Amino acid sequence: MNKLLVFGGNGFVGGNLAKLALEQGWQVVVADLAPQPRVEGAKWIGVDIIQPDQIWQAFEETQPDAVVNVAALADIDRVESDRELAWKINVDGARWIAKNCARSGSAHVFFSSDAVFDGVQGPYTEDDLPNPVNFYGVTKAEAEAAVLASHPGAAVIRISLVLGLPRTTGNSFVAGLQEKLRSGKEVVCPPDEIRTPVDVHTLSACVLELASNRFAGLLHIGSTQSIDRYSLTRRVAQEMGYSQDLVKPQAEQQEQTGRAPRHKKGILDVTKARRVLNTRLPSLDETIHRALI
What is the reported pLDDT for 255?
Answer: 56
Mean pLDDT of 30-58: 92
The C-alpha torsion from 169 through 172 and 175 to 179, rounded to 10°, is 100
Asked whether 112 and 143 are in contact (CB, 8 A), the reply is: yes
pLDDT band per the 50, 70, 90 thresholds, residue 37: low
How much of the chain exceeds pLDDT 90, in percent? Answer: 92
> Pairing state of beta strands 227-228 and 194-195?
antiparallel
pLDDT tens by residue, 5-16: 999 999 999 999
Q: Is 105 exposed, middle or buried (0-12, 13-18, 19+ CB in 10 A)?
A: exposed
pLDDT tens by residue, 121-158: 989 999 999 999 999 999 999 999 999 999 999 999 99
**Whole-number Å distance between alpha carbons of 145 and 162:** 23
pLDDT tens by residue, 167-224: 887 789 999 999 999 999 999 999 999 999 999 999 999 999 999 999 999 999 999 9
Average model confidence (pLDDT) across the chain: 95
Q: What predicted TM-score, i.e. pTM, was given to this entire model?
A: 0.96
**Whole-number Å distance between alpha carbons of 248 and 222:** 25
Answer with the residue of higher pLDDT: 257 or 192: 192
What is the reported pLDDT for 258?
Answer: 72
pLDDT tens by residue, 185-199: 999 999 999 999 999
What is the reported pLDDT for 1?
Answer: 60
Which residues pair with residue 199 across a beta bridge? 163
Asked whether 193 and 168 are in contact (CB, 8 A), the reply is: no
pLDDT band per the 50, 70, 90 thresholds, residue 38: confident
Measured from the Cβ of residue 88, the count of other Cβ atoms closer than 10 Å reads 17
What is the reported pLDDT for 35?
Answer: 80
What is the reported pLDDT for 251?
Answer: 83
Give the total residue count for the chain: 293
Asked whether 111 and 89 are in contact (CB, 8 A), the reply is: no
Asked whether 26 and 37 are in contact (CB, 8 A), the reply is: no
Mean pLDDT of 84-110: 98
Asked whether 41 and 81 are in contact (CB, 8 A), the reply is: no
Architecture of the domain made up of 3-164+193-226+263-291 = 3-Layer(aba) Sandwich (3.40)
Asked whether 199 and 287 are in contact (CB, 8 A), the reply is: yes
**Whole-number Å distance between alpha carbons of 2 and 270:** 28
User: Does residue 256 carry a pLDDT above 70?
Assistant: no
What is the reported pLDDT for 167?
Answer: 86
